[in-house]
Structure formats: structure tokens, C-alpha cells
Structure 1
Amino acid sequence: MPRAATPKPSPRKKTVPDLQASGATPRTLAIDIGGSGIKAIILGPDGKPLTERQRVETPKPATPKAVMKAILGLIAPLGAFDRVAVGFPGVVVDGVTHTAANLHKDWKGFDMGRELGKALSRPVRVLNDAGVQGFGVIEGHGVEMLLTLGTGMGCALFVDGKYVPNLELAHHPFRHGKTYEEYVGNAALERVGKKKWNKHVQRVVEQLLPIWNPRVLYLGGGNARLIDFPLPKQVKVTENVAGLLGGFALWKDEPPPERL
């Protein structure tokens, strides 16, 4: 179970919204950290959005300090919330980030759950971003798999609704000496163009289906909207907002396990 940080109240900064929640509770602040953008939204007690999605560019360099500052500015207009769910692009164990290939080396060993909890005086749970997005789309039975196509490539695996944490398939060698991420990430899209990139994605799908045999393979992330090849019947394209909506699952009565 992900650790919930329970920090003591600390002096509020001007960028932090009033945390005295009002109306229906609990209200979940969902944050999705990506290599190119950081997004946030408030979810109600039923997991549905209560606010419009907010977005800012991911700072460069994307150090923990810079990203934390960007988050505080991003959430200021959203209003009150009771708890926080964060999707992070890398390996996360007990709220501590261990890898962040598309952000910065300083994320290794950073206790994001604790530090963000201290800044907001609210409990925080952090999970790999593909895992969070998967929780926003899965049906909860059989083997389900999700790939996110954005700055890099994320991957999440679920068995009967239970999350298999931190599956970093993106960095496994795939084709012509390139990893999956190097083959279908945003840099590849910009290098080879949309038409050839679609062929790359199609090859990845064709490679994964007979190995993992998922009941459903979901394709999400910001670049999934560019897919224009015929999809096998068990493959579905999802909306990118699932990366925020899935944050609600981190605060269910039995949250997903996060330990390796």
C-alpha cells in the first residue's frame, strides 16, 4: 500500500490554495507529471472532476525543486482539497522516486510523498504515471495492459484490477539497437514524422500482443491521438485525461500496492 504522508501543518505559502475543504468531501487533488507538461484537477468523492484541468509546461531543467515550485503555482486556482494523488514518470516506491529518465537525475531517491505533503499540509500518495492512467481506464478483470505514448513510453500491467508496479518496458531493447522508448517516444515522432511513427507504434503493438496476451491493450498519452492505423479488436485508444482521473484509485479503501 502506498505510504500516506501525514506531515505537521507548516506555514502556508501564497501559492498554496486555501486547504479548508468545503462542500462534498473528500476532494482529491490529482496531479500528472510529464516530460513536457504538468497537469492538475480536483476530483470529487465519486472520482469525477469538480474543476477544469490546469496545465503548465514542465520546467527545464526539471529538477525536484523546479517541479515542486511549478506544482504549487499550477494548483493555486483550483481551490480546496483534502488529499493528493500524483502520477510520476518513473519508478516510485513508497512515495520515493527512483528513476526519472525524462526529467532530471536529482529525482533519484527523492521522497516526493513526504516533501509535497509538507508543502501542502495534506496526505500524498505517488504512483508511476502509467499505473495511474491505467486505473483511469481498466475494467478490472483479466490481464489488462496500457502503453502511454508521450515524451517517452510508459507501461502498466494489471491482473484482475490489481496493479503490477513499476514495469519499465520502455527501456528494454526493441529494434535496431533502440529501446521501445527510443522507437516510439516523442523524439522518434519528430525525427521520422507521423506516418513512419505510426508504423513504429504498430510494430510495438504487434510485438507485445502475443507475448503478454492482454485481454485489452490500451494506448494512452498525449501522442495516442495521432494513431491512424487499424487497431486489433483488443486494442483501444484512451483519452489522456485518464492520467488524472486514475488518481482517485490511489485513495480507495484498498489502494494499489506500490512495493516492488
Structure 2
Amino acid sequence: MADSTIEQSSERTAATASGSTRRGFGIDVGGSGVKGGVVDLDTGALVGDRIKILTPQPSTPEAIAATVREIVTQAGWEGPVGLTLPAVVTAGVARTAANIDKSWIGTDACALFGAALDGRPVTVLNDADAAGMAEDRYGAGKDVDGVVVLLTFGTGIGSAILNHGVLLPNTEFGHMEVSGQEAEHRASSAAKERHDWSYKEWSKEVSRVLTRIEDLLWPDLFVAGGGISRKAEKWIPHLTNRTPVVAASLQNTAGIVGAALAAQTSIGT
């Protein structure tokens, strides 16, 4: 059995106090950890504790499926399950693989996880899309009536677009060319570290990417996610693009919350 941890949710009391009975279950598959939990679908808060198991190595479909089954079993959850993958997912099939084993490419993820969970309904979607859904419904974008673009700044740049709460799945703005370079090569947090840029220096590159996106889409809000968003005060004030930019508010629960929400709405199946 894989090593697992149960982490206290800071929002547990709020979820319990709400008295909501609309609950879902989400699992966020990442390169270092597979995390899952019960979600209050009225508030977006986790109910109880988050379960995390280290991502098996190699992170093959069969190994991840076994880990997912273990998380669901530990939680005692018996209903539908939503899952994220760091991959483009169309019609339930993984088309790419980022930070997981390349054998995922072409895998019918819905069929795989459904079989691992004894045939229960499952929904599988891209991890940035799940985070975008969560932030749009419950987080930094919840009061915006228009186009919200979430960008996750990490090793690469993940993206999600929502218009009035409706997701356009599997966008890949991290691979968009900006002034002769891929956006994520220019403005990911990994690029910041690689070039040893200050936050102010890095913000110039982020501004270039945001300006290119807003010239194409004219969004109403950018939501900045990824670990570097926790230090938003050090770089967001230096941005020069025209569209407002705010830090993501759900942080490391966004994938779980978005997956649970997607399972309810059947996005990604």
C-alpha cells in the first residue's frame, strides 16, 4: 500500500456549518501527489480531510488507477468521482501527458478509472480546466459575469477559459507563440528561476503573454494560479496589461473542487 497522508482542511468547519447535502468527490492527479476529498458543492469547501498519496513511479495508468481506488476506499465514498489529469482529455481519452508517464497518451481514462472503481460513473478532465471551473464558481472569479481566463504558472503554463461559467476545454495557451517563444518558455515560474529574474523582471514577460491573450480574447479577468500566486503581491502590481489580474483563492484545493464539480455536470466524460 502506498504511503498516504490525511490533511486537515481549514474550511472544514465552514462546510459543516453550511448544512449542505450536495456533495461530490474529486481527485487531482499531479506529478508528485494524488489528492482527493469530499466537496460541498454549494460552497466549494472541502468536507473533512484531504487524502494525499505520493504519485507512484513510474506513473503508469495502471499505477495511478490503483492509487485512485485506494483514495476512494479510504474516504468511504460510494458515488460518482471526478478526476483531473495533467493532460489534454477529449471524450475521456488522454491525448497528451505532462509530468506523468507517456503511456497515458491514447489511454481511455474514463474506462480505466471506471473499471478501477467497480463501474461507477467517472468524469475526467484537464487539471487546469478543473482549477478554472473551481475558481470561476467558488473562488477569485465567482463575481465576474463574463470571460474569465485562469493561468497556472509552474513548470509550464496551464490555461482555462470560462464564459459565464461555461468551460471551453483543453486550451493550451502555454504553447502559444509570443514574440518568437512559447509562452511558457517565456513566462512560466520555471523560466523565472532559470533566468534568475526578480519578480519585477519576470512580470514584464508575464505582461507580454497576458497582452497577447487579451488581444485575442478580450477577457474580463485573469486569475493567476500556481505556487507563485501565493506571492502575488510581489509581481501582480508590476503587470502592465490592461485586464485586471487577481490571485487564485482556492490554491491547492482547486483541482479537487473542480473535479467534483465536473462530475456533477459531466464535463470531460
User: Counterparts in 2 of 1:180-191, with a 5 A limit?
Assistant: 180-191=183-194
183 and 96 in structure 1: CA distance in 2 versus 1, 3 angstrom threshold:
same
Three-state SS of the structure 1 residue aligned to 2:214 is helix
What runs of 5+ residues in structure 2 fail to find an aligned partner?
4-19, 137-141
Offset at residue 112 of structure 1 (A):
1.2
Equivalence for 2:174? 170
Shift of 1:110: 0.7
The answer on 1:48 being equivalent to 2:45 is yes
Aligned-residue offset at 1:67: 2.5
Q: Work out the CA distance in 2 between the residues paired with 1:223 and 1:68.
A: 30
Normalized against structure 1, the TM-score is what? 0.77
Number of equivalenced pairs: 237
Q: Does the aligned pair in 1 maintain the 2:23–2:41 contact within 8 Å?
A: yes
Shift of 1:134: 1.2
Alignment of 1:66-215 (within 5 A): 66-121=63-118, 122-138=120-136, 139=142, 141-176=145-180, 178-193=181-196, 195=198, 196-215=201-220
CA distance in 2, matches of 1:36, 1:197: 26
Contact 1:34–1:151 under 8 Å retained in 2: no
3-state SS of paired residue (1:144)? strand
CA RMSD of aligned residues (A): 3.0
Identity of matched residues, %:
34
CA deviation after TM superposition for structure 1 residue 166, in Å? 1.0
- Cα deviation for residue 198 of structure 1 reads 4.0
8 Å CA contact retained: 2:81, 2:260: no
CA distance in structure 2 between the aligned counterparts of 1:128 and 1:36, rounded to whole angstroms: 16
> Which deviations, in whole Å up to 9, do the C-alpha atoms of 1:139-198 show, x marking residues without a partner?
37321111112232111111222111111121222345x322223335324312362444
Greater helix fraction, Structure 1 or Structure 2: 2
Contact 1:29 1:81 in 2 (8 A): no
CA contact (8 A) 2:160 2:170 kept: yes
> Which is further off, 74-83 or 110-119?
74-83
Q: Verify the 8 A CA contact 2:150 2:159 in the aligned structure 1.
A: yes
TM-score w.r.t. length of structure 2: 0.75
SS of 2:58's equivalent in the other structure is: coil
Cα distance between partner residues in 2 of 1:143 and 1:39: 29
1:250 shift after superposition: 1.5
| Distance in 1 of aligned mates of 2:34 and 2:168 | 24
1:234-253 aligned within 5 A: 234-239=244-249, 240=251, 241-252=253-264
Contact map agreement 1:150 1:223 (CA 8 A) in 2 = yes
**1:102–1:152 contact (8 Å) kept in structure 2:** no
Q: Any conservation in 2 of the 1:157–1:164 contact (CA below 8 Å)?
A: yes
Deviation readout 1:65-84 (Å, 9 max, x if unpaired): 33223334444532324111
Flag the 1:153–1:59 CA change in 2: closer, same or farther, 3 A. Answer: farther
Looking at structure 1, the residues matched to 122 and 74 of structure 2 have their Cα atoms a distance apart, in angstroms, of 19
Q: CA 1:63/1:151 → structure 2, altered by over 3 Å: closer, same or farther? A: farther
CA distance in 2, matches of 1:68, 1:53: 18
Segments of 5+ residues of structure 1 without an aligned counterpart are 1-12, 16-23
